Amino acid sequence: MLTIENLHVSVEEREILKGLDLSVNAGEVHAIMGPNGSGKSTLAQVLAGKDNYNVTQGRVLYRGEDLLEMEPEERARRGVFLAFQYPTEIPGVNNAYLLKAALNARREADGEQPVDAFEFMRLIRSRMELMNISKEFLNRSVNEGFSGGEKKRNEILQMLVLEPSLAILDETDSGLDVDALKIVAAGVNSLRSADRAMVLVTHYERLLELIVPDHVHVLSDGRIVKSGDHELARELDARGYDWVQQEAASA
């Protein structure tokens, strides 16, 4: 599904990713963990196509095609979804409108007919229930005046409706209380399937108790320095990141 080879990325002359390799197959959930400033969010942003990030070396293949050559909207239409760490507010644009436009952009790319308002409502009702989102929520402006938890739940609702092939979740657990975390995890888990891959970028292990990953990677100073399974995440939670960084430095 996703192959990242020797990826080097700089922002304003400063190198953030320094030769990152990662391979994600369909059906797998990968967690990328690491201390602040290790480059986790940069990775998420680069995969989604944000500019201001200079890829100086390496390549990224998505289903065998050069992902970095595609415009952000093209990536989205082909099934790459980023759940933002800080979802942007768009005053005056209602939630339902954006979501429907996004869904229809995706459907058009797949050669499907656009959905009308009636079909759209039918389609999202059960997903809204799952995310514990009320109907009034749809008529509010995108993310405007949302609490942190509402923003994150909204991101996951969008993901559930758009049904991406590759979902990247950037610190979706940050700022959530336990209840909200459970709702978000239930949403994510409902989308796990054999033909879909997920990359969870996170700082804390607690999300991974609810969304159990197949692989866990530690990102440090722009490189993946250690990989393992769920046990690795638990060990990091217990011992912190220092030992991994030391291990990497001495290697």
Partner 1 sequence: MATEQKEITDLVKRKYEHGFVTDIEQEFVPPGLDEDVIRLISQKKGEPEFMTEWRLKAYRHWLTMKEPDWAHVRFNPIDYQAISYYAAPKSQEDAPKSLDEVDPKLLETYDKLGIPLHERARLAGVAVDAVFDSVSVATTFKEKLAEAGVIFCSFSDAVKSHPELVRKYLGSVVPHRDNFYAALNSAVFSDGSFVYVPKGVRCPMELSTYFRINAANTGQFERTLIVADEGSHVSYLEGCTAPMRDENQLHAAVVELVALEGAEIKYSTVQNWYPGDEQGVGGIYNFVTKRGECRGANSKISWTQVETGSAITWKYPSCVLRGENSVGEFYSVAVANNYQQADTGTKMVHIGANTRSTIISKGISAGHGQNAYRGLVRVLPTARGARNYTQCDSLLLGDKCGAHTFPYIESRQRSARVEHEATTSKISEDQLFYCRQRGLSEEDAVNMIVNGFCREVFKELPMEFAVEAQNLMNVTLEGAVG
Interface ranges with partner 1 (CB under 8 A): 48-52, 71-73, 75-77, 81-82, 84, 87-88, 90-93, 97-99, 101-102, 105-106, 109, 141, 158, 162
- CA 67 to CA 49: how far, in whole Å? 9
Q: At closest approach, how far in Å is the CB of 80 from partner 1?
A: 8
Counted residue by residue, the chain has a size of: 251
| H helices, E strands: number in the chain | 9, 12
How many other C-beta atoms are found inside a 10 Å radius of the C-beta of residue 164?
A: 22
**162 vs 183 by CB, closer to partner 1:** 162
Provide, rounded to whole angstroms, the least separation between the CB of residue 112 and partner 1: 13
Which residue, 18 or 63, has its beta carbon nearer to partner 1?
Answer: 63
Residue with structure tokens 């009308």?
A: 116
Strand partners, 201: 32, 170
Q: Which residue(s) pair with 33 in the sheet?
A: 202, 218
The continuous run of DSSP H or E covering 143 comes out as none
DSSP letters for 77-141: HTTEEEE-SSPPPEEEEEHHHHHHHHHHHHHHHTTPPPP-HHHHHHHHHHHHHHTT--GGGGGSE
Least Cβ distance, residue 77 to partner 1 (angstroms): 5
For partner 1, the closer of residues 102 and 212 by Cβ is 102
Is the CB of 76 or the CB of 211 nearer to partner 1? 76
Q: Taking the complex as a whole, how short is the minimal distance between the CB of residue 226 and partner 1, in angstroms? A: 30
- Report, in Å, the least distance between residue 170 CB and partner 1: 11
Q: How far is the CB of 135 from partner 1 (least distance, A)?
A: 19
Q: How far is the CB of 168 from partner 1 (least distance, A)?
A: 10
Side-chain half-sphere CA neighbours of 123 within 13 A: 18
User: Which residue lies nearer to partner 1 by CB, 30 or 75?
Assistant: 75
Closer by beta carbon to partner 1, 154 or else 220: 154
How do strand 54-62 and strand 223-228 relate by DSSP bridges?
unpaired
Q: Tell me phi and psi for residue 126, to 5 degrees.
A: -65, -35
Which of 81, 137 has the CB closer to partner 1? 81
